[in-house]
Chain A
């Protein structure tokens, strides 16, 4: 191929993949602004956002408040953009962009599916029949060079330093927060920025230390290789549960959300480092926070929750096996497996995003000294101890011989089976819940009149029930 052909062959798939990822993160970010409010409303037993309405004659569309995301976005753009007169104009304008760009750029190294072999997607035979072949389980596109011409990895850039790129860009968020607070000529902003910088810097140490356990497990920094390892063995969360817990806590702290939202604690600091921002510039901070939830969920999914893998679904098809005994082996077409894996990845990400919103509405805010104590006195020692433990256990296993390795392989397959059972159970429960919703008994309802009536009295004389 000539140079220009190579350029086209590189640029076009890269552009498509970038648009898929950025489109997904934008949509999920917008969805999360709705989910956060709606789910908070459900947890606190109120209705939540439901006012935005699309009217066309008699037709009204409310979509359970989903239109609020569009309405808010539009409103942000047409609000007055305000800059404090004594603010540092350059830094003040730069800060929202510095916050937003890295969140999007992190997506470059996150794999959302296994490598696609375009030659193996389908063949057309001479009599016009289409054949959908399966590819081999190991190796990129099999040993046949005819199938191996132009494999497309489902990852924007297959960097060999994967995780380090993520750390490098995640660190930029601190700069954005600090710049915003420093430049806005407001004491609340400055204090918020200080808190933000101090908190994010502390949790970055934990973030880096905790992942060492995962690097020792996978033996690579490439995120796609990590996912492949999990597909062939067990998911990372079963092998490195401590790392998963610590990394999850640190990732929530990095995105500065409750219970770690000290930098923007509204009861103390108005809204922290972006107090002086208005209009879409505030919206960029707000939106970047939700996109950060999506990207951190993607990282957690790829490093600990098996990425694009479903239990027993491999590149070549469905293989249910425990140790060396194979129960089911069914080849599936490459194109279906690929579609299924990509959907699996995004489904897992959505689940973790929901889970982060759930955590946000379930926990109270820490005090600042508790926050720092949790970081330096609990999470950092845990992750250091995890390195020592992992090192000794892995070296012992490597030297233990074939019997232990075979036993571990069976244990890994059992965890896969457990995951499969859990997923099936919750999917079935979800379907049953949709068909037959459980009866909602109103016990504590909104107004005091209704409460009094429930207790058997009236609003005027609630005590004589």
Chain B
């Protein structure tokens, strides 16, 4: 237990320390001379207009939902993939049934136009 997980803990602590050192160095070493123009949002020289947050295209939400569907399904396949030789033809058949459902889902979202970005 300790031999396996202590190094992980150690590397997490060490990498946090390194990132923290970079961060504090960046925060305190440089000079600070704020001016009014510097504080404006950078938009290639033109004045920023409108609200801070733009309206998002609904495509991005759709991608997020598709990610949840397909990534979770990939995780379901992992245990079978590791053991599939010992599970034999029966295991192969059942997993192919499951994957066929995934393929049908992919075809469905494809035909519905959820993967199109041109419109």
A→B interface (CB under 8 Å): 6-7, 10-11, 14-15, 17-18, 22, 76-82, 84-86, 93, 96-97, 100-101, 104-105, 107-108, 156-159, 164-165, 185-188, 190-191, 194, 197-198, 201-202, 204-205, 208-209, 212, 215-216, 219-221, 270, 275-276, 279-281, 283-284, 368-369, 372-373, 376-377, 380-381, 384, 387-388, 391-392, 394-395, 398
Q: Which residues of A contact B25 (CB under 8 A)?
A: 77, 280
17 contacts between A and B (CB under 8 A): A7-B2, A10-B3, A14-B10, A18-B7, A18-B14, A22-B11, A77-B26, A80-B32, A97-B23, A108-B7, A188-B43, A219-B82, A280-B25, A284-B19, A377-B115, A387-B99, A391-B84
In the complex the two chains form, what is the Cα distance from A25 to B95 in whole Å? 39
Q: Which of A81, A157, A276 contacts B42 (CB 8 A)?
A: A276
Given contacts A81-B30, A185-B41, A198-B64, contact A387 B77 (CB under 8 A): yes
| Chain B, Cβ-Cβ closest to A94 | B23
The smallest beta-carbon distance between A102 and chain B, in angstroms, is: 8
Instruction: Find out whether the CB atom of B12 lies under 8 angstroms from the CB atom of A105.
Output: yes
The smallest beta-carbon distance between A151 and chain B, in angstroms, is: 11
Instruction: Find out whether the CB atom of A212 lies under 8 angstroms from the CB atom of B77.
Output: yes
Bitwise, B10-27 to A at CB < 8 A (1) or not (0) is 111011101110110111
Instruction: Find out whether the CB atom of B81 lies under 8 angstroms from the CB atom of A216.
Output: yes
Q: Which of A6, A85, A191, A384 contacts B106 (CB 8 A)?
A: A384
Q: Which of B7, B31, B78 contacts A10 (CB 8 A)?
A: B7
Q: Which of A77, A165, A201, A221 contacts B30 (CB 8 A)?
A: A77
Given contacts A159-B8, A212-B74, A373-B117, contact A81 B27 (CB under 8 A): yes
The smallest beta-carbon distance between A30 and chain B, in angstroms, is: 13
In the complex the two chains form, what is the Cα distance from A80 to B29 in whole Å? 8
Bitwise, B68-92 to A at CB < 8 A (1) or not (0) is 0011001101100111110011001
The B contact surface, by secondary structure, is: helix
Q: Which residues of A contact B33 (CB under 8 A)?
A: 80
In the complex the two chains form, what is the Cα distance from A188 to B45 in whole Å? 13
Q: Which residues of B contact A220 (CB under 8 A)?
A: 82
In the complex the two chains form, what is the Cα distance from A15 to B6 in whole Å? 10
B→A interface (CB under 8 Å): 2-8, 10-12, 14-16, 18-20, 22-23, 25-27, 29-34, 38-39, 41-44, 48, 52-54, 56, 59-60, 63-64, 66-67, 70-71, 74-75, 77-78, 81-85, 88-89, 92, 95-96, 99, 102-103, 106, 110, 115-118
Instruction: Find out whether the CB atom of A156 lies under 8 angstroms from the CB atom of B22.
Output: no
Q: Which of B5, B54, B64 contacts A201 (CB 8 A)?
A: B64
Instruction: Find out whether the CB atom of B43 lies under 8 angstroms from the CB atom of A187.
Output: yes
Given contacts A270-B42, A384-B102, contact A204 B110 (CB under 8 A): no
Q: Which residues of B contact A187 (CB under 8 A)?
A: 41, 43, 48, 52-54
Instruction: Find out whether the CB atom of A158 lies under 8 angstroms from the CB atom of B11.
Output: no
Q: Which residues of A contact B82 (CB under 8 A)?
A: 215-216, 219-221
Instruction: Find out whether the CB atom of A82 lies under 8 angstroms from the CB atom of B26.
Output: no
| Chain A, Cβ-Cβ closest to B87 | A395
| Chain B, Cβ-Cβ closest to A18 | B11
Instruction: Find out whether the CB atom of A190 lies under 8 angstroms from the CB atom of B26.
Output: no
Instruction: Find out whether the CB atom of A10 lies under 8 angstroms from the CB atom of B74.
Output: no
Beyond A82-B38, A201-B64, A394-B84, 4 extra complex contacts between A and B, CB < 8 Å? A10-B3, A156-B11, A376-B106, A391-B96
The A contact surface, by secondary structure, is: helix
In the complex the two chains form, what is the Cα distance from A33 to B73 in whole Å? 38
Instruction: Find out whether the CB atom of A388 lies under 8 angstroms from the CB atom of B64.
Output: no
The smallest beta-carbon distance between B58 and chain A, in angstroms, is: 12
Instruction: Find out whether the CB atom of B41 lies under 8 angstroms from the CB atom of A219.
Output: no
Instruction: Find out whether the CB atom of A84 lies under 8 angstroms from the CB atom of B39.
Output: yes
The smallest beta-carbon distance between A297 and chain B, in angstroms, is: 18
Q: Which of A209, A372, A387 contacts B63 (CB 8 A)?
A: A372
Q: Which of B48, B71, B99, B102 contacts A204 (CB 8 A)?
A: B71
In the complex the two chains form, what is the Cα distance from A387 to B77 in whole Å? 10
The smallest beta-carbon distance between B79 and chain A, in angstroms, is: 9
Instruction: Find out whether the CB atom of A368 lies under 8 angstroms from the CB atom of B11.
Output: no
Instruction: Find out whether the CB atom of A22 lies under 8 angstroms from the CB atom of B18.
Output: yes
Given contacts A78-B29, A159-B4, contact A219 B11 (CB under 8 A): no
Instruction: Find out whether the CB atom of B10 lies under 8 angstroms from the CB atom of A395.
Output: no
Given contacts A81-B32, A391-B95, contact A205 B23 (CB under 8 A): no
Q: Which of A11, A22, A190, A275 contacts B53 (CB 8 A)?
A: A190
Instruction: Find out whether the CB atom of A284 lies under 8 angstroms from the CB atom of B26.
Output: yes
The smallest beta-carbon distance between A399 and chain B, in angstroms, is: 9
Instruction: Find out whether the CB atom of B7 lies under 8 angstroms from the CB atom of A14.
Output: yes
Given contacts A104-B18, A215-B81, contact A96 B42 (CB under 8 A): no
Instruction: Find out whether the CB atom of B42 lies under 8 angstroms from the CB atom of A188.
Output: yes
Instruction: Find out whether the CB atom of B16 lies under 8 angstroms from the CB atom of A101.
Output: yes
Q: Which of A194, A204, A388, A391 contacts B60 (CB 8 A)?
A: A194
Instruction: Find out whether the CB atom of A14 lies under 8 angstroms from the CB atom of B6.
Output: yes
Instruction: Find out whether the CB atom of B89 lies under 8 angstroms from the CB atom of A101.
Output: no
Given contacts A10-B2, A78-B30, contact A205 B42 (CB under 8 A): no
Q: Which of A164, A280, A388 contacts B96 (CB 8 A)?
A: A388
The smallest beta-carbon distance between A99 and chain B, in angstroms, is: 9
Q: Which residues of A contact B78 (CB under 8 A)?
A: 164, 212, 215, 221
